[in-house]
Structure 1
Amino acid sequence: MKLKGKHVIFSFIFLVAGFLLALGYKIASEEPKIIRMNDEELQEELEYQAQLNNIDQENKELRAELESLRSDIRDFEENLGGQEKQLASYIEERNKLELITGDVPVEGPGISVTLSDAEYIPNEENVNDYIVHDLHVHLVINELLASGANAIAINGQRILGDSYIACTGPVITVDGKQHPAPFVIQAIGDPEVLQASMNLQNGVLDKLVSDHVEVNIKTSDHIQMDAVFSSEGW
């Protein structure tokens, strides 16, 4: 019985091996199949390929044009940004000049410094030593300007960069217009800074007091000044 079993197994192995050999020979003996196209189909395929190539070339050209446009836009935006900064600088400079020339009205917080002649004058003293002079007005204006005042007026008259202040007897003349005492000098700017500059030790206030000038300083949340032409009735 054992011998017959081996014969069955060997027979099965030889059968499978023979089948595989026969299958391999058949596959090896077959010629490879080639897809053949007629002339019309070949021409159609070539046309499709040419169209694809053209589309690919057009896409490359469009991408290059798009990148060029993006570059132009970036350059334009950078140029525009520079122009906006330059314009803002021009506007800021113009506003500063208008404040200096008094061409526009101005308003804001600031301080008022009132200079008055001394109320008591001893009989033996010189009267001129107890009244306000143009020197005192100049001291106050220069101190306020040095402390950042944006605009200054005396008794409502705007002070310009080239304003002329001089004594004319008991009054002072500002650009040809006379003002009697007391002289109210208004300055628009940071009230705390302006007031502190006036109260510096051995500063303007001490000088005025030593010259017998009565001084009153007060801050204000709102000071309004007309333009030069408006204040002069032009």
Structure 2
Amino acid sequence: MRLKGKPMILSLVLLVSGFLISFSYQQTNERPKIVQLNDSQWKQEYYYKKQLLEIEEKNKQLREELKKKREAVQDYESNLAANEQAVSDFVSRKKNLQMLAGELPVQGEGVEVVLRDAEYIPDDDQVNQYIVHERHMHMVINELLSAGAKAVAVNGQRIFKDSYIACTGPVITVDGIQHPAPFVVTAIGDTDVLHASMELTRGVVDQLVSENVDVELSKEDKIEMKARLSAGR
């Protein structure tokens, strides 16, 4: 029995030893191998790395340049928008000034004041006390301008700072152009403000009535006035 047991143990030892040797050999073959490059391969790899670094540096410079150009474009667009707004404001102001100066026609809401000579004249009174005079026209026009009227006209003829109004008998002369009664004074502006200014207690309308002038005051949704040159100036 002892002789049979020893060969069995020896066989088992040899089997285990063979397995360990085979496993060690397999693990040795699976380890990463170190690749050795020759001089030519080293030079080629160095050249590629150098090219890659140069490309990356160039891309970095291009990105910085693109960023600066985008910022410059944004600044240009902002300045352009500001200039466009400035030009638009200038054109709007210029147009308003031209309207005020009468170089352009103007239209808008406002009021209309009609002045007429008195229909009834007592026999023992003077006629001049019952007709419209230039001072009556001045009262109406000055009140409307003080109330914020943007434009004023008499019988459709624009009134300006240098306009001259004179009474010649039964007619009113405006800048050399005669207008018979009734005299229609129109004013463009805030309708409510203009209307209220004329109807103040002891205001213009009350004064005109007290001086025997027939007055009609009305609000108008749309009043049109021609340019200065079209009015014979």
| TM-score bin (small chain) | 0.7 to 0.9
Structure 2: distance between partners of 1:121 and 1:190: 36
Which SS does the other structure have where 1:212 is aligned?
A: coil
Structure 1: distance between partners of 2:55 and 2:147: 72
What do residues 31-51 of structure 1 show as CA deviations (whole Å, max 9, x unaligned)? 996432222221222122112
Residue in 1 aligned with 2:227? 227
Q: Which amino acid aligns with 1:88?
A: S
On the 8 A contact 1:113/1:215 being kept in 2, the answer is yes
How many residues get paired? 218
Structure 2: distance between partners of 1:180 and 1:134: 12
Residue in 2 aligned with 1:16? none
Structure 1: distance between partners of 2:185 and 2:98: 20
1:54 counterpart = 2:48: no
Q: Which amino acid aligns with 1:93?
A: R
TM-score normalised per structure 1: 0.80
Structure 1: distance between partners of 2:40 and 2:202: 109
Superposed counterparts of 1:155-170, under 5 Å: 155-170=155-170
Gaps of 5+ in 2: 1-19
Superposed counterparts of 1:1-80, under 5 Å: 34-80=34-80
TM-score normalised per structure 2: 0.80
Q: Which deviates further from its counterpart, 173-182 or 33-42?
A: 33-42
Which SS does the other structure have where 1:128 is aligned?
A: helix
Structure 1: distance between partners of 2:152 and 2:75: 45
Which SS does the other structure have where 1:45 is aligned?
A: helix
Residue in 2 aligned with 1:174? 174
Q: Which amino acid aligns with 1:185?
A: V
Residue in 1 aligned with 2:216? 216
Deviation at 1:114, TM superposition (A): 0.3
Deviation at 1:112, TM superposition (A): 1.0
Cα RMSD between the aligned structures? Answer: 2.9
Residue in 2 aligned with 1:89? 89
Q: Which amino acid aligns with 1:37?
A: L
Structure 2: distance between partners of 1:77 and 1:145: 43
Which SS does the other structure have where 2:160 is aligned?
A: coil
Superposed counterparts of 1:121-160, under 5 Å: 121-160=121-160
Residue in 2 aligned with 1:189? 189
Structure 1: distance between partners of 2:142 and 2:62: 67
Residue in 2 aligned with 1:120? 120
Structure 2: distance between partners of 1:67 and 1:134: 72
Q: Which amino acid aligns with 2:113?
A: V
Residue in 2 aligned with 1:8? none
Structure 1: distance between partners of 2:211 and 2:51: 100
Deviation at 1:126, TM superposition (A): 2.9
On the 8 A contact 1:100/1:161 being kept in 2, the answer is no
Q: Which amino acid aligns with 2:173?
A: T
Q: Sequence identity, in percent?
A: 51
